[in-house]
Structure 1
Amino acid sequence: MKLHYKIQGDNQAILLLHGLFGSLDNLNMLAKDLSINYQTIQIDLRNHGQSPWSNIMNYQAMAEDVAELCHDLQLANIILIGHSMGGKVALQLSQLIPQQIAKICAIDIAPITYSQIANMPVINALTQCINQGLIDKEQIAEVMQQYDLTPAIISFLLKSFKHQRWLFNANVIIQQYDNICDWHPISACDIPTLFIRGGNSNYITDKDYPAIFSQFPNAQIETVAGANHNVHAEKTQEVLHLLHSWLID
């Protein structure tokens, strides 16, 4: 699959991979800074943004898409930075093109299977909006409020609703949500890997450390105090400080 992407800057390539329901713009705050010294490549993953849609939605397929782009752009010595779902895609890429990857950063995600409960209000709200055929943002927001979604989450989702349609493939994401929560443990990978966790988030907890270190023994785990799941957006300067220290290490 030929993915949509945006390139800024020069030198060593940093691939930026967004999370579920997002698009390449979600990591703009990191790309703007990193593109001063690196070539940043922001990518719309399949079924998101301006990339093609598919009925298949799992980490092997998403990683193969990104590997194809790396081949097309003839990239080597790549740095991967992914948030949430994008972080899992980055981790899966370690199994496909390890010789091309220099470092991996997974932001607030671990190589584990997650419960589907966390995002079920979003899934249920989207299902209701689709079933009602809603094309008005105000009506969509009203439905989402009924599912107790916060204003921040509603605003985030509506960024992907343009010209009376969702930019992400809502139907397939709903159908394939179990695959997005899932993870198949991989053999140990010695690529240097940074895990950045939000201090107020439960996506990476102490009990997940054994799964992290068994699959990524060369891992480093850093916590950003006071941050929730969208660590990079809430605490951009703290995340950039961690990234710069890690990149030159």
Structure 2
Amino acid sequence: MNIRSPVLLSFTKYFLRGNLASLKPSVLVLHGFLGSKSNWHTFCRVLHERTQRTFFALDLRNHGRSPHSAPHDYRSMTADVIAFIEQHRLNSVVLLGHSMGAKVSMGVALTLPTRIAALILIDNAPVCADVHESTCTSVRALFRVASAQPLSRRYAGEMLKNIVSDNSLRELLLSNLVRGSDGRLHSRLPLSLLIHSLPALGDFPFNGIFSGPTLLIRGRYSNYVSDAYLPDVYRVFPSASIVTLDGGHWIHVEQSEHVLSSVETFLQNN
């Protein structure tokens, strides 16, 4: 399958019925590599309640409950999200993405700017860069654990602990293990495809400028959006406001209330 054949993305919708529904643009939330829409459930529920906006949390291709399909690259993921917008007849949306999901959000905004009301990017920049070693380590660690087909999640966690020290990241990886009919844990992700696709995650195959309202939230101790990348951010997103919080790449987990407040304020003004 190629980028001319987008896949139908699995999603969860947070919304109010009837006259209570907000007329403001819906918000599409795009997770990062090895994540899923379920990781963003609390985030979406809280912001939906605070803003009354409709939220859609999406599983990108090869993640969560969405179909497995090659290639796994930004053009294909962007085409999937654009197809979702068209399928659901969303005339105007706000895109919110973390890491891989942030780059997909950028791609959609640069490809379909007239349908994007605003952009919220969490810890990624519009640049080509080497894939971070932690990303490579994470997917290979998950492959190793899944290949062992452990019987218990606890044992799987112990296996991961020897490779991945960060507890939040371990929990994210474990969320991708599901119990099969044989009683053992298996990966629900096409890990061989994702490992093969790692180089594409550092790519940024888009051109152009998105001049709409843009919020970029970065972790002070993350190197995904270093100061050296800020000229690139302002070149592609000239209206960008940048918020820097104490934390790393998983800033929405480490500083959840600060991120929620920053996003809520941005949505109130846009």
TM, length-normalised to structure 1 = 0.92
Q: Residue 44 of structure 2 corresponds to which residue in structure 1? A: 31
Q: Residue 14 of structure 2 corresponds to which residue in structure 1? A: 8
Is residue 103 of structure 2 the alignment partner of residue 88 of structure 1?
A: yes
Q: Is the 8 A contact 1:64 1:96 kept in 2?
A: no
Q: Is the 8 A contact 1:185 1:215 kept in 2?
A: no
Q: How does 1:114-193 map to 2 (within 5 A)?
A: 114-116=129-131, 117-132=133-148, 136-163=152-179, 164-193=185-214
Cα deviation, residue 137, structure 1: 3.4
Give the gaps of 5 or more residues in structure 1. none
Q: Is the 8 A contact 1:88 1:111 kept in 2?
A: yes
Q: Residue 61 of structure 2 corresponds to which residue in structure 1? A: 46
Q: Is the 8 A contact 2:26 2:94 kept in 1?
A: yes
Distance 1:244 1:127, change over 3 A: closer
Distance 1:161 1:241, change over 3 A: same
Cα deviation, residue 56, structure 1: 0.8
Cα deviation, residue 90, structure 1: 0.4
Cα deviation, residue 78, structure 1: 0.5
1:245 partner letter = T
Give the gaps of 5 or more residues in structure 2. 1-6, 16-20, 180-184
1:123 partner letter = V
Q: Residue 210 of structure 1 corresponds to which residue in structure 2? A: 231
Q: Percent identity?
A: 27
Partner SS, residue 197 of structure 1: strand
Of the three residues 64, 88, 105, the one matched with 2:120 is 105
Q: Residue 247 of structure 1 corresponds to which residue in structure 2? A: 267
Cα deviation, residue 148, structure 1: 4.3
Is residue 58 of structure 2 the alignment partner of residue 17 of structure 1?
A: no
Provide the rounded CA distance (Å) in 2 between the counterparts of 1:160 and 1:128: 13
Cα deviation, residue 187, structure 1: 1.5
Q: Is the 8 A contact 1:13 1:79 kept in 2?
A: yes
Is residue 239 of structure 2 the alignment partner of residue 233 of structure 1?
A: no
Q: Is the 8 A contact 1:104 1:193 kept in 2?
A: yes
TM, length-normalised to structure 2 = 0.85
Partner SS, residue 120 of structure 2: strand
Partner SS, residue 217 of structure 1: coil
Cα deviation, residue 229, structure 1: 1.4
1:216 partner letter = F
Partner SS, residue 119 of structure 2: strand
Partner SS, residue 8 of structure 2: coil
Partner SS, residue 129 of structure 2: coil
Cα deviation, residue 114, structure 1: 3.0
Provide the rounded CA distance (Å) in 1 between the counterparts of 2:43 and 2:160: 29
RMSD: 1.8
1:120 partner letter = C
Partner SS, residue 110 of structure 2: coil
Q: Is the 8 A contact 2:13 2:55 kept in 1?
A: yes
Count residues in correspondence: 248
